[in-house]
Amino acid sequence: MDNLEELYSEVIKFHSKQPRNFKKLETANREMEGHNPLCGDHLALYLQIEDDRVKDIGFQGDGCSISRAAASMMTSTVKGKTKEEALVLFNEFHRLIKGELNPASEAHHLGHIGTAFSNIHKYPMRVKCASLSWHTLRAALEGSAEAISTE
């Protein structure tokens, strides 16, 4: 096993214990499911899109603490953003978890997500846990009809 201690920062622990936006959204006009078979993470993402903006967002599902914390932070961050802004965030997050974006030296819009997930690229098994909700978000925004899998 990897030593995951540096991964489980206080902010990740906090969000995994008390995830934000952990609800089924009755006003959702888009729903998307995502699975990460490597870990067993599953989530359903609910979006209310109005005028090309994420007016409200919620998620439900079962997953490890990394996937739950990532979904909690992702939903808090993209809420209120335009579709275009959300896709910029997706791209920044994707580069972050691949180790291509150094949040300490490069400008980004990820806020505390950038710090919380700055080490995750060292743990390839956990990268898919962190990215599941983001890939599901992108699929939902792009209007994909099929559930997504990180495999």
What residues make contact with Zn ion under the rule CB under 5 A? 39, 41, 64, 67, 129
CB of 98 to Zn ion, least distance (A): 17
Residue 108, classified by CB atoms within 10 Å of its CB into exposed (0-12), middle (13-18) or buried (19+), is middle
Using DSSP's 3-state secondary structure scheme, residue 53 falls into strand
Q: Which H/E stretch holds residue 17?
A: helix 10-17
Residue 40 and residue 82: Cα distance in Å, rounded? 31
CA angle 40, 14, 21 (to 5 degrees): 70
What is the bridge-based pairing of β-strands 53-62 and 41-50? antiparallel
Q: Which is nearer to Zn ion, 49 or 59 (CB)?
A: 59
How is the beta sheet containing 53-62 ordered, strand by strand? Answer: 53-62, 41-50, 30-36, 148-149
